[in-house]
Amino acid sequence: MAINIETGLAVVQKFVNNCYYSMYGSRYYTDGTCDCSGSVYRILRESGGFNYGYIPSTETLHDYLLKLGYEKIAENTDFPMQRGDVIIWGRKGYSAGAAGHTGVALDNQNWIECTGWKMTTIISNHDQRWVMAGCPYFYAYRLKNQGGNTAKPNPTPQPIGKKNGIAIDNVSKDQAVKMVQRIQTRYAWTLLRDQVKRVLQPNKVYTLVISCDSKWKYENAVNRLKQELKSYYPTYMQQNIAIVDGDKPIIKIEARNLTDAQSKKMEDHMRSFLKDVLLDKQTYAEKNSYGTYDVRVKGEGFNDHDALIVLNEIKTMGKAKDVNINPSHIKGFKY
């Protein structure tokens, strides 16, 4: 019994926003209605799965998947979701009817689901939906790697970046704003390490280089730099400030002819003083389609070793009484 999940996904994707959610119709799209487990069953049957005798619920779907050649790869723990995985929400034994939910992964972030939330079949971000539902207990199943029973590989695999970021999903505006401010303050030195840095010149003096990816950032950064140099080093000649590549996507501000001590002080100070400007669109909060807010921490990211440390630190930061964010809302990602 060969399973080709691509065939089933292709069939059911035609019903996206083109059916009505109901637990009391055919549950299989044949009359224009379906429910979550019926949708998954249709995908599996169209993929080559055997006739179970009836359309399973989220309770009996576990048994069908195991008999079909799937194996449980996760139970209420993080896992690397991939195309073709079947995810079931709701603790087994307590997930019948509306108490459970299920869908099939399309890639490492999105899945296809028939949901009473939108009263149709949709493609959505799995983790965002999981948080919306209150982070229910879940199971993940994947087809075993056994000869002809191997799922067809994703023809267009998702590219994975090399930089590490942090995501905080589905929080209030107040929570998002506070977390952005605190993260920018705590990690400005790391996030801006390549955007504000001192460079030793051949003549043994230093240049402070500030890189800006927009005219708005450049204008704010150059004005603040001039102001701070004047405050800290009144005798510093402002003519030493040069603009490089002013007509390019990345504009560089160079404060030249600084001593070792001056460049060290200004590098550290300007990373903190410019964090709200340079980290705009890099460490930020934005409203999502659910009416809540998401936070993304990018900047220059963190190395693979530090990423897990920072993730746990930010989870701890989110537990502050005036923020109180469930740690399950905070995850790492690659970009």
| Strand, coil or helix: 333 | strand
Q: Do 164 and 247 form a contact (C-beta atoms < 8 A)?
A: no
**In whole angstroms, what is the distance from residue 280 CA to residue 285 CA?**
10
Q: d(Cα 246, Cα 252) in Å, to the nearest integer?
A: 7
Q: Using 50 as the pLDDT threshold, list the residues of the chain that sit under it.
A: 146-159
Is 307 in a helix, a strand, or coil?
helix
Residue 270's nearest CA partner among 205, 230, 221, 234 is 221
Token pair of 218, please?
């450049």
Q: 3-class SS at 233?
A: coil
Q: What are phi and psi of 61, to 5 degrees?
A: -65, -30
Per-residue pLDDT, 158: 45
